[in-house]
Amino acid sequence: MLDEGKSREELVDELKELKAILKSNQESTKKIIENERILSKTALELVDLPPHVDIYDFIAKKLGDLIENSLIAVSMYDEPSDSILVRSVIGENQRLIELSQKIMGGGLTDIKLPLRSFYEFYDDKEHQKNTILSGKLLKMEDGLYQVFAGRLPQKITRMVELTMNMGDMYGTGFESKGKLYGTVYIFLKKGNKLNNNELVQSLISLFAVAIQRKQAENEIKKALKEKELLLKEIHHRVKNNLMIISSLLNLQSAHIKDEGARNVFRESQNRAKSMAMIHERLYRSTDLKNIDFGEYIRSLTTDLYRTLVADPDRIRLDIDVEDVKIDINTVVPLGLIVNELVTNCMKHAFPDGETGYIKLELYQKSQKIVLKVIDNGIGFPEDLDYKKTSSLGLQLVNNLTKQIDGEFELDRNQGTSFALIFEEKE
Ligand SMILES: Nc1ncnc2c1ncn2[C@@H]1O[C@H](COP(=O)(O)OP(=O)(O)OP(=O)(O)O)[C@@H](O)[C@H]1O
Ligand SMILES: [Mg+2]
């Protein structure tokens, strides 16, 4: 310290020393800030990692960019086989690939080492703490021989080291919360030093957490996929059951003499069939959240047309539907509504052999989806309130419209035009 009674030279020396300390402090602060910057940038990149980018490739590339003159090998831990599998290598060259082929009969990414071999290699208790599986960056004093956990003869590992001009080697495991997710090895070319150990170690901890997250994410995706398959399976069965009911009604109606009663049976049969078709769409659709409703309407309406309209020249069918995507919760009620409205046109609009057309429209207008069933027939009875009928068909339509929070409107200007307006909810 600056004591009184020191000579001028002594004071100058001390000042120089202080300056040097200050400078080195500044440098290390700069380095810390730079390291922080790299860490947070990498962390952000990991959060936004596109699904097609392999996380092991990403890790190898990041480390390769950071550590000059190095070869980086990143492996994953495969739990079922309890092995370490090399997944990504950065900095390899033709020579190394040839050597790998010669020695192991495969490329570097074919290398597979049982986890057991690492524990066996460090058989004494003291060393076990220092294995690469500890998550701490460890210098491999025994070089490649140690990397392969003694699985290759030392003579061969030495030869590879010399041929490839390999110097210092480091290794560690990706470890998070006591679980191993993989390993990474850093091979430096002779004469190079690993001078940013701390940053490398911090990055490796970050990567371990990222791999853990990625695996959890994949498991959730897998579980979701399974759930969707199960749901489709159920729709398939429901569809089959409804088809059975439909044919049952068909068989029974054959024994009914009275035409009116037979028609009731036929309509029930059609209702069961329409529902079956919805479930058929559901198990065929790739995305249960988004079902192509336009396509469904097309097939349902032509199907009804074939059963209900004996003479296609008398009633024309005009289908103008956009491919609107509809959620699974809306699609079932909507299918039944279409069934009722279209059946009504075919049944009531053209009595006594009259001719005309039936038109179906489906389109999206900003947030709203509009479904229109139009005919140019005799028109809806003046004395009937379409929102309060004693008959089942329109009652069903009104109830189902409420269920999907839609609006149901009638336009009697020309023939009958029913419009259903609803919104898809999140
Ligand atoms: N497109 C239409 N053109 C003319 N009249 C119609 C039309 N749609 C419905 N109606 C009239 O509205 C009445 C009520 O229809 P609704 O569908 O509720 O009953 P339904 O078709 O008679 O029997 P169901 O209950 O089997 O459907 C019909 O009986 C018919 O008179
Ligand atoms: Mg009806």
17 in any annotated domain: no
Distance 345 CA to ligand 1 centre (A): 8
Nearest CA-CA partner of 56 in 182, 179, 170? 182
392 in any annotated domain: yes
Whole-number Å distance between alpha carbons of 169 and 70 = 9
- Domain count of the chain? 3
7 in any annotated domain: no
Nearest CA-CA partner of 400 in 324, 317, 322, 340? 340
Q: Whose CA is nearest to atom 26 of ligand 1?
A: 393
For ligand 1, whether the C-beta of 415 sits within 6 Å is: no
b/e sequence 49-75, b meaning 16+ C-beta within 10 Å: eeeeeebbebbbebbbebbeebbbbbb
What strands, in cross-sheet order, belong to the sheet with 407-411?
315-321, 356-365, 368-375, 416-423, 407-411
More confident residue, 206 or 303: 206
For ligand 1, whether the C-beta of 342 sits within 6 Å is: no
Distance 275 CA to ligand 2 centre (A): 16
209 in any annotated domain: no
Q: Which two tokens stand for residue 336?
A: 């039944």
Q: What is the pTM of this model?
A: 0.61
pLDDT category, 407, cuts 50, 70, 90?
very high
Does 236 lie in the same domain as 113?
no
For ligand 1, whether the C-beta of 354 sits within 6 Å is: no
Does 294 lie in the same domain as 280?
no
Span 287-321, pLDDT tens digits? 777 778 888 888 889 888 888 888 889 999 999 99
**Ligand with minimal distance to 398 CA:** 1
49 in any annotated domain: no
Provide DSSP, 102-144.
HHHSS-GGG-EEEHHHHHHHT-SHHHHTTSGGGSS-EE-TTHH
CA dihedral 219, 220, 221, 224 (to 10 degrees): 120
CATH number of domain containing 342: 3.30.565.10
Domain span holding position 407 = 289-426
Does 229 lie in the same domain as 332?
no
Does 298 lie in the same domain as 278?
no
- Do 204 and 184 contact (CB within 8 A), yes or no? yes
Rg of the chain over all Cα atoms, to the nearest angstrom:
37
Distance 393 CA to ligand 1 centre (A): 7
22 in any annotated domain: no
CATH number of domain containing 104: 3.30.450.40
- Beta carbons within 10 angstroms of residue 187's beta carbon: 27
Does 297 lie in the same domain as 237?
no
Mean pLDDT of the chain: 89
Q: Percent helix, strand, coil in the chain (nearest 5)?
A: 55, 20, 25
For ligand 1, whether the C-beta of 348 sits within 6 Å is: yes
Does 295 lie in the same domain as 271?
no
Q: Which residue is associated with the tokens 């480390």?
A: 63
Q: What is the pLDDT of residue 267?
A: 86
**Ligand with minimal distance to 266 CA:** 1
4 in any annotated domain: no
Q: Whose CA is nearest to atom 22 of ligand 1?
A: 391
- Range scoring the smallest mean pLDDT among 17-31, 164-178, 250-264, 286-300: 286-300
Q: What is the pLDDT of residue 124?
A: 55
Q: What is the pLDDT of residue 288?
A: 72
For ligand 1, whether the C-beta of 267 sits within 6 Å is: yes
Does 233 lie in the same domain as 309?
no
Distance 268 CA to ligand 2 centre (A): 11
Does 310 lie in the same domain as 270?
no
Does 349 lie in the same domain as 258?
no
For ligand 1, whether the C-beta of 413 sits within 6 Å is: no
Does 160 lie in the same domain as 232?
no
Q: Average pLDDT for residues 148-166, to the nearest whole number?
A: 93
Helix (H, G, I), strand (E, B) or coil at 331: helix
Instruction: Out of 357, 391, 395, 408, give the residue to mutate to test ligand 1, the one with the largest number of ligand atoms within 8 Å of its CB.
Output: 391
Q: What is the pLDDT of residue 295?
A: 83
- Do 391 and 349 contact (CB within 8 A), yes or no? no
For ligand 1, whether the C-beta of 381 sits within 6 Å is: yes
293 in any annotated domain: yes
Does 238 lie in the same domain as 310?
no
- Beta carbons within 10 angstroms of residue 178's beta carbon: 6
Instruction: Out of 270, 315, 346, 348, give the residue to mutate to test ligand 1, the one with the largest number of ligand atoms within 8 Å of its CB.
Output: 348
Give the relative orientation of helices 55-66 and 8-47 as an angle to the nearest 10 degrees: 160
Burial class (CB in 10 A: 0-12, 13-18, 19+), 26: exposed
Span 253-269, pLDDT tens digits? 889 999 999 988 888 89
Does 177 lie in the same domain as 69?
yes
Q: Average pLDDT for residues 73-102, to the nearest whole number?
A: 92
Residue 65 in this model has a pLDDT that exceeds 70 = yes
Q: Which two tokens stand for residue 184?
A: 């990474």
Q: Which of 143, 164, 195 is the last residue of a domain?
A: 195
Q: What is the pLDDT of residue 125?
A: 55
